[in-house]
Amino acid sequence: MLFDKRLIFVTGKGGTGKTTLSAAIGKAASKMGKRVLVVDTSEGGALGTLFSRGALLSEPVDLDSNIQGVRINPKKVLEEYIQKYISIGFIANRIIRAELFEHLAEATPGLREIMTLGQIWRWEKRKDEQDEYIYDMIVVDTPATGHGISLLKQPRTLVEMLRFGPIAGQTRAVQEMLQNKDKTALFLVTAPEELPVNEAVQFIRVAEEELNMEIGRIVVNGLYSELFSPEEIVMIDKIPENGPNPEKKAYDIIIDSAKTYISRKRTQNYHVDRLQQSIGQELLRIPYFFTNALSELEIDAISGLLRQREPS
Amino acid sequence: MTFLEQLDKVGIVICCGSGGVGKTTISAALGIHGALTGRKTLVLTIDPANRLADSLGVGAFEHEEQRIPEEKFHSIGLRPSGELYAMMLDTARTFDRLISKYAISEAMRESILENRYYQHLSSTLAGSYEYMAMEKMFEIYNEKRYDLIILDTPPSRNALDFIEAPNRISNLFGNNLFRKILRPYMDAGKAGMKMFRLFASPFQHMIRKMFGGRVMDDLFDFFHLGDDTFLDGFRSRADAMKSILSGSDTLFLAAAGPNAAPMNEAMFLHQRLKESDLPFGGFIINRVHPLLPDIFQTPAFDEMEFDPDLLDKLIKNYRNFQALGISDALSVRQLAKTAGPGVKIQTIPYFEVDVFDFTGLYRIYEHLLET
C-alpha cells in the first residue's frame, strides 16, 4: 500500500508533473490523518506555489493542516552537518569556512546528493518528546535529471570510495533506508507521449536492477477523458477536414477542435497501451486540465483520485 | 535581423531549456536551417529518441557523426547548399579519454585510472551529461570541421549547470586554494605523513574527520600522480571553453513550453545569461495552442444540425481549447513583459501529431522563419 510507506520519492522525466503529484500525494496523505512533510529538491519554488505560497524555506513550514513543506539547500545542510557532527570550531573565520565548504563540495561530486538524502533520513527518524514520529510520511519531489537516478544512486558510489568515516556511516544508513521496501517506495510519473513512456520503461528496469527499490505506483498524467462516444467519433471522423481559412464558420471551428481532441486522444491511448503492456502493475490515470497554470483546486482533484484508489 | 539570421553569424548554437519541451526537435529544425544556408552543420544530441533519428534517415543515432542523406531534403523539394550531420553523445568514455590525452606517460595514465578518487570522480561526472556535452562540443569545435554546431543540451537539474560545467571542472582541477591546501600534504610525501599529520591544515583535518584517512591518501595520490602539466591541461581547457562560450561565435537560445514550470526556467536562464554577459538569441516557445475565434460571434451558429447532447460536448470541447489558447497567449505575453523590450520570442504551434518525420521538422523550421 502506497500510503503505508513512510517515504515516497516522486520521480519522472521533466515536464511530466512530478511536482504536481508530490503536492497531491501530500494532500491525500494528510486527508487520511497523516502528518506529512513535502520536500522540494529543486532550486526553483514550484512546489510552494501549488500551495498558494512562494518558494519553500530551508526549515519546514506549515502549508496546510497536517502538511509541512521544506526546500533542501545541500550547501546549508553540509554546513550544518559539519558543525553538528564534526567539530571544526577552530576555524573561526566564517568566510574561510564557507570557502572550504565550497571546495569540499566541488571536489567531491555526489556530496550534495548525499547531504540531501542525509537530511531526509534525519527528518524521517525525528521524534517528539512522547517518542512519536514527527512525520508519518515524507514526500520527496526529486530532481528532473535522469528521473532522479543520480540522486538515488549516489550512496552506493560514495560508500565505495569512502568505506570508513562518519560520512560513509551516514551514507550506509541512507542506503538502507532507500532499499527498505516496507518503508520506502518510488512513485513514477509519466505522460502519454513517446519519450516520457520510453524513459519510464527504462527507469522501471533501473529501479529494479540497479537501485533495488520498489516502485509503489506508476501514474500517467495528463490524459484526455472519454468525451465522445465511439459512434460520435466515427461521425466526426467522417466530416472532411477544412484547411486554414480566415472566414471559418462556427461549425468549422468546433469540428476542428473536436478533431484535434480525437487525434490527440488516439496518440495518448497508443502510448498508454504501450506502457501498460510492458509493466506488471495497473497504471493510475490522471486527467488533463485545460490550463497551463495549475492551482490548489486541481491538486485537490488529483489527491482525491489518489485516495479513491487506495482500499480503506 | 530575423530570429534565424542570428544563426548565420555564429559557429555554435546552444539550445537550453528544461526537459520535455522539444529541444531535440527544435535543434534538428535549426540544423535544417544551417544546411539550407550553405553551411556544414552538426546537431549534437544525447536524445535517445530513435524515431527522430529515423525521420532524419540515419537509422539510429550513433556516437559517430552521421550525414543526413540528401534525399531527405530532396523528398520535400529542397536542394540544400550545405550539409547536415547528427551525432549522439557517448558520455561513458569521454573522461577516460581526456586522462589519456593529458597524461604524460603510460604509467601515469594507468595509475590515475586505477585511483579510487578518480574512479569516484569519473563515475559521478560521467553521469554529468552537461560536462560531457561541453567537452565533446569543444573538441569538435576545435577541429574546425563544421561551420555550425548546434548543441541540444542535456536535461539537467537546472539548465545553468551546463554553463557552469567548465567552471566547476576548472575549480576542481585548477583551483589555487584547493591545491594550496593539499600542497603541503603532497610535499610531505608518504614517508613523512605521520609527522605531517601533526601539522595538518584545518581543511585536511576536516576532510580526515569527515571522510576518514583513506580518502586523504587517495586524494594525495591523485593530485600527486597528476603533476602540474596534467592539472594545467585541464585548467587551460576549461578556461578556453569559458572564453568561447562568452565570445561572439556562440549564441544561446532558450526553449520552453507555455506551461508555468518550463517558462519560469527559461526566464531564469535568460536572467543568468544576462548577468554573465553571455550572448542570448531569444526564446523559442514550443507547442503553443492557437487563439480560437469566438464562435458565438460568427454567423450560422444556430444552423448546426447536431443532436443536442453531441452539440453540448462539441461546445464544451471547443471552450476547453479556447481557454487553453488564451492561457498560452497570456503566458507568452508574460514572458515578453519579463524579458523586456528587444528580446526575440518565437512561438511554434502545437502540432497534432508528434513531430517525428522530416516533413514535420521542416514545418517547425518554417515557423522559425516567421518573425
pLDDT in tens, B148-166: 999 988 765 555 666 676 6
Q: In the numeric block, which cell numbers belong to residue B294? A: 469566438
Q: Dump pLDDT digits (tens) for B74-92.
A: 999 999 999 999 988 766 5
CA distance B203 to chain A (A): 7
CA distance A76 to chain B (A): 16
Q: Which of A106, A145, A165 sits opposite B210 (nearest CB)?
A: A165
Percent of chain A with pLDDT strictly greater than 90: 49
Each as own residue / partner, the long-range contacts of residues A152-159 (CB below 8 Å, 24 or more positions apart, any chain) are: A152/A9, A152/A11, A152/A178, A152/A211, A152/A213, A153/A210, A153/A211, A153/B127, A154/A110, A154/A113, A154/A114, A154/A117, A154/B124, A155/A114, A155/A117, A157/A110, A157/B120, A157/B123, A157/B124, A158/A110, A158/A111, A158/A114, A158/B120
The whole-angstrom separation of Cα A232 and Cα B234 is: 65
Q: Is A129 exposed, middle or buried (0-12, 13-18, 19+ CB in 10 A)?
A: exposed
Q: Is B341 exposed, middle or buried (0-12, 13-18, 19+ CB in 10 A)?
A: exposed
CA distance A39 to chain B (A): 15
Q: Which amino acid is at B67?
A: R
Contact B328 A154 (CB under 8 A): no
**A132-145 exposure pattern, b = at least 16 Cβ within 10 A, e = fewer:** eeebbbbbbbbbbb
The whole-angstrom separation of Cα B365 and Cα B371 is: 12
> Mean pLDDT over residues B317-325, rounded?
94
pLDDT, position B83: 96
Q: Dump pLDDT digits (tens) for A126-162.
A: 999 999 999 999 999 988 766 577 788 878 777 777 7
Contact B203 A100 (CB under 8 A): yes
Interface membership of A238 toward B (CB under 8 Å): no
Q: What is the DSSP letter of B8?
A: G
Backbone phi and psi for residue A247, each to the nearest 5 degrees, phi listed first: -95, 30
Classify the C-alpha dihedral B174-B177-B181-B184 as positive or negative: positive
Q: Which of B51, B207, B304 sits opposite A194 (nearest CB)?
A: B51
Contact A161 B206 (CB under 8 A): no
In this predicted structure, the answer to whether residue B177 has a pLDDT above a threshold of 60 is no
For residue B117, the chain A residues in CB contact (below 8 A) are 161
In this predicted structure, the answer to whether residue A174 has a pLDDT above a threshold of 70 is yes
Rg (CA), chain B: 26
In this predicted structure, the answer to whether residue B49 has a pLDDT above a threshold of 80 is no
Task: With cut-offs at 50, 70 and 90, classify the pLDDT of residue B295.
Answer: confident
Q: Which amino acid is at B200?
A: A
In this predicted structure, the answer to whether residue B346 has a pLDDT above a threshold of 80 is yes
Q: Dump pLDDT digits (tens) for A6-46.
A: 999 999 887 889 999 999 999 999 999 999 999 998 766 67
> Mean pLDDT over residues A293-309, rounded?
89
> Mean pLDDT over residues A75-101, rounded?
65
Q: Which of B175, B209, B257 sits opposite A86 (nearest CB)?
A: B209
Q: Which of A103, A161, A253 sits opposite B116 (nearest CB)?
A: A161
Residues of chain A numbered 79-98 and touching chain B (CB < 8 Å): 82, 86, 88, 90-91
Contact A86, A166 (CB under 8 A): yes
CA distance readout (Å), A243 to A224, A252, A253, A255, B368: 24, 10, 11, 12, 21
Q: In the numeric block, which cell numbers belong to residue A9? A: 520519492
Contact B210 A44 (CB under 8 A): no
For chain A, give the mean pLDDT. 85
Which pTM was predicted? 0.84
Interface membership of A200 toward B (CB under 8 Å): no
Q: In the numeric block, which cell numbers belong to residue A153? A: 544512486
The whole-angstrom separation of Cα A83 and Cα B197 is: 22
> Mean pLDDT over residues A203-220, rounded?
91
Residues of chain A numbered 126-165 and touching chain B (CB < 8 Å): 143-146, 149-150, 153-154, 157-158, 160-165
Q: Which amino acid is at B283?
A: F
